[in-house]
Amino acid sequence: MNKHSYGFASTKLIKLAYLVELEYYRSFGERATDVEWVYFKYGPYVMNYQEYLTGPLSVIKDDDRPFHRITISHNCDCAPSNRKTTTIIERVIAEFGDYALDDLLDYVYFETEPMMAARKRTDIIDFSVALSKQEARVKEIVIDENVYQGILDKLKKRVSGEQPL
């Protein structure tokens, strides 16, 4: 069986778990878990998160700071829903696992719809405000180089005052 292990401090682990929940909701229109996420201090939090640290999760002490080791197994005899979740976990870790904690917190707090919609501390996080995968997709606009230069030239003239608004 192919396995990968990752280690994260508690704060980062919780924020990555939030992103897994968010990405699952974006992909399937429903929550991956029934865990209650609340707006606590500055961002999403699970009050009793330690209760969920079982199974493939283990706690390692490093310089008196707890790190939680996550083991993700491939080619497991998982139910299809678990395979979907495992795929999302891997994708979130691949995209956000190497983020510096401050960068991850900025993204979670200020760029995810459920957190942007939360109004006051202790509010329950509402994942239904999240954009679907289709809605969240960024579309790249391709503009012909000549058209692009023409737009830039007009903009420069307006900024310099040569062409009135």
Summarize pLDDT for 70-114 with one digit per residue, the tens. Answer: 554 444 444 545 788 888 988 999 999 889 999 999 999 999 999
Mean pLDDT across 152-157: 86
pLDDT digits (tens, 9 = 90+) for 16-29: 999 999 999 999 99
Residues 95, 104: contact at Cβ < 8 Å? no
- Average pLDDT rounded to a whole number, residues 38-51: 83
Q: Is residue 34 part of a domain?
A: yes
Given a contact cutoff of 8 angstroms between Cβ atoms, the answer to whether 42 and 125 are in contact is no
Domain span holding position 13: 3-131
Extract the tokens encoding 86. Answer: 């495992």
For range 9-13, the mean pLDDT: 80
The number of folded domains in the chain is: 1
In a domain, 137, yes or no: no
Q: Phi and psi (nearest 5°) for 71?
A: -115, 120
Q: Is residue 152 part of a domain?
A: no
| The predicted structure's pLDDT at residue 54 | 59
Residue 63 within any structural domain of the chain: yes
Q: Measured in whole angstroms, how far is the alpha carbon of residue 58 from the centre of its chain? A: 22
Is 157 a member of any domain? Answer: no
Is 151 a member of any domain?
no
- Quick one: average pLDDT of 39-50? 83
Residue 153 lies in a domain: no
As a whole-number percent, the residues of the chain with pLDDT over 70 amount to: 72
Rounded CA separation 74/83 (Å): 9
Does residue 103 belong to any structural domain of this protein? yes
> What mean pLDDT do residues 62-72 have?
54
Give me the helices (H) in 31-100, please. 80-96
Are residues 120 and 107 in contact, defined by beta-carbon separation less than 8 angstroms? no
Residue 33: closest CA among 105, 70, 81, 92? 81
Percent of the chain with pLDDT over 90: 32
Alpha-carbon span 68 to 122, nearest angstrom: 25
Which pLDDT band holds residue 138 (cuts at 50, 70, 90)? low
